[in-house]
Structure 1
Amino acid sequence: MRPLTEIRQGGRAIVLEVAVSGVHGVRMAGMGILPGVRVTVLRNGKRKALLLECGRSIFAVARALALTVSVEEEA
């Protein structure tokens, strides 16, 4: 288990936990970033937002928010 921010560009991972609540938790759920969901990291710049593909949608997620998402990288 590792934070989403550690997944390299082009990597795929399964969300294990989203450790944020309130408005940010609702936002993540609204984007479909929930436990059990597969995400693909389209862009992971070291100081910029992550660009994620989740289902048929693409989202930019702030780095600080992505740190709250624990994932398991797919081989």
Structure 2
Amino acid sequence: MSDDTRTVTLTKMCLKHGIGIPREGALAARFQAAFPAAHYDGEAGEWCMEGKKGGFAESNARLEAFLAENGVGVVHVDKC
């Protein structure tokens, strides 16, 4: 994926979000600043954020707002 990504896949996996943002580049730097608890999973090829039961609606809203502010659309995948 390049830094000019216009759509990101946001995968909900029970207690974790997978975010299909490139590992490096301007969007990744902004993402890291906005979500310092996120880490890049090289094996999965995506950023990951741990969640807790009942907190996904809030984290989804924050992620969607961040992506919208950066001109990026979201495709949701629910694996939970």
TM-score computed with the length of structure 1 as normaliser? 0.38
* Bigger Rg, which one: 2
Q: Counting strand residues as a fraction of each chain, which structure ranks higher?
A: 1
User: Which one has the bigger helix percentage?
Assistant: 2
